Structure 1
């Protein structure tokens, strides 16, 4: 245990700790107007996020200390629970609907978003199953196809919420694992083509999704409806300049920019801290990416290597999707900014992902069994 603690990737841990602390500051700054207006308590969202940070880091520590082979044994439970919760959230009397989407489950005062857990569980499942299939990975029917059938089921269930953004994120993360698992090139091309065609089909055959995907290209044509949020994000970013207007001095969070403390918190960061704030956040994500890739390529066994790659790319792809939406370069998908946006479920499972990455970084002293 002592040797394991000594070998932990502290650079990754410190980066995530500082980014989460920065997120707490920005959640308070972005949310105190709406917290006071709605709950008569300016610290309402900050206190909740602070509790989630504490819970998340507790789970991170536990995840670091659990032997990785025990995570292997949880794979069947993860798969079964993933399907169970995805079905459960669609039941009207159980699932909670917000903004025309049914993505949450309420247990008393506890509100939980199952897809956040499923993002992690699917990466674990894919890393585990493709690590075991290495001896016949070149056989499409036996080595490649079976896990993809489960992925297609999960994708469709998430699409029913509807949540194309998260469904696509899971698809991309699992695709990275397939790509890195020595699958034949012709199989990769075929699977990539099918995935692109499938996502495009579901995006363009639904008027709701099509509107979300195209409104970001010409937001000023729908300034009073779909383009409203993005236009106010533009205003916040433009007002920030190089050094920003000062911490706490955002104007857009005063009722102009919807979801200022969740999906669009980066716009408030740039308005208050300028391009300097943006560079700091980007540098933190680059450090997480670098340490994650470093951890992956240090591994001799396929399971921890694929797992580290899947989790690392999932964090970074989510950050890219969020930053792209806030800047108008990508469609608005409702995906949070990792470790910074307000949202308990998202933060908790992001920290669990980091805990697994740090766990993998200590595997010099541990034998990995994927059986």
Structure 2
């Protein structure tokens, strides 16, 4: 506010110069991802929606509803102090574990394509594995807040979280949901490493995980088939079998070239590419928007992940360790899920059904993804208004 006075005219002229506020990076990236995702998901789903429901905008309407619900959830989350999440982290993890167990109960869990990952509530299919990801991050962050020295100095501080992780992994294995298993494991290991766990202690865990993968491949031959088809999806024995989705995704990338064939002009979404509006929406983006469209989406995710890690570093420097580890964990959740989805769509990784946050159709992923961004925004807010370090006790 500036005041200017003219002696000749005896008048006072007041002019207000509002200081421009910096753009909130998290909010900008969120709305760009939501907008891009809604457009591309709708384009990818119109044919199948018309075939299944007689309405080409069936999935669009449902996604708009979930976006509205997600924004409402964000509004509530923004008003919840991080200390509350710290104290309630054991309860959140217990709830997630109970729900993971419930999907294995016949008559409670809903089986789709051989996997029991959902609980049918009538109006909505709840996927507990999505809740388990953020619940595990919250619990691990609270544990690391209380036991930083033990994690750094003793084996006990490293092995205690492994017991909790093992229980969650076992439940996910029996669903099965191997994608969520990998994401939760990598995120937990990263949080432990950032908390100061000795690098050599990871060697034993890596060996156990490798032995588990070998045992899984022996017990379930389709795992070996997926790995083999991934290495050469164009082979005659795979191109119409295990390698079909990957070959169709690669065709979509090839058709898109640099600038794409234009919004709505994809051919691969016309029943050639299964799950075009969920797990393989990135391939439709590549076909219709080209490589530049894919790079734009990738840049948005990199910005989101970098912002989460930056908030974690700033919180750690302020002694706000719970907020720091939560931010690191959320950043890693987004990073692993985006990396796996991009890798599957481009043929860098074996085919695995895993949604792309904010862009794929689905209420569970969208709700949890928006919730995680809201938690990051709350951490950002508390860094601006709070100077005291977080408590070191209060959660089991």
Residue 84 (structure 1) shift: 0.6
Residue 8 (structure 1) shift: 9.8
SS in structure 1 opposite 2:202?
A: helix
| 8 Å CA contact retained: 1:267, 1:326 | yes
| 8 Å CA contact retained: 1:232, 1:256 | yes
Residue 234 (structure 1) shift: 1.1
| 8 Å CA contact retained: 2:73, 2:371 | yes
Match status 1:282 vs 2:298: yes
Structure 2 residues not aligned, in runs of 5+: 1-19
The correspondence of residues 1-371 of structure 1 with structure 2, limited to 5 A, is 10-221=24-235, 222-299=238-315, 300=318, 301-364=320-383, 365-366=385-386, 367=388, 368-371=390-393
Partner Cα separation in structure 2 for residue 49 and residue 106 of structure 1: 18
Alignment deviations for residues 226-276 of structure 1 (CA, whole Å, 9 cap, x no partner): 111111111111000111010000001111110000000000001000011
| 8 Å CA contact retained: 2:146, 2:392 | yes
Partner Cα separation in structure 1 for residue 208 and residue 379 of structure 2: 32
Deviation larger for 173-182 or 293-302 = 293-302
Partner Cα separation in structure 2 for residue 7 and residue 356 of structure 1: 21
Residue 139 (structure 1) shift: 4.6
| 8 Å CA contact retained: 2:86, 2:322 | no
SS in structure 1 opposite 2:230?
A: coil
Residue 342 (structure 1) shift: 0.6
The structure richer in helix per residue is 1
Residue 120 (structure 1) shift: 0.6
Partner Cα separation in structure 1 for residue 58 and residue 361 of structure 2: 11
Partner Cα separation in structure 2 for residue 297 and residue 108 of structure 1: 42
In the alignment of these two chains, the number of paired residues is 366
Partner Cα separation in structure 2 for residue 7 and residue 191 of structure 1: 47
Structure 1 residues not aligned, in runs of 5+: 1-5
* Structure 1 residues 370 and 57: alpha-carbon distance in aligned structure 2, compared to 1, 3 A threshold: farther
Residue 186 (structure 1) shift: 2.3
SS in structure 2 opposite 1:105?
A: strand
Residue 136 (structure 1) shift: 2.0
| 8 Å CA contact retained: 1:7, 1:361 | no
SS in structure 1 opposite 2:152?
A: coil
SS in structure 2 opposite 1:216?
A: helix
Residue 9 (structure 1) shift: 7.8
Deviation larger for 122-131 or 191-200 = 191-200
Asked which structure has the greater CA Rg, the reply is 2
Residue 353 (structure 1) shift: 0.8
Alignment deviations for residues 291-321 of structure 1 (CA, whole Å, 9 cap, x no partner): 1111111112221111111100110110010
Residue 205 (structure 1) shift: 3.6
Partner Cα separation in structure 2 for residue 7 and residue 369 of structure 1: 32
Partner Cα separation in structure 2 for residue 8 and residue 143 of structure 1: 41
| 8 Å CA contact retained: 1:8, 1:358 | no
| 8 Å CA contact retained: 1:203, 1:213 | no
Higher relative contact order (CA 8 A, sep 6+): 1
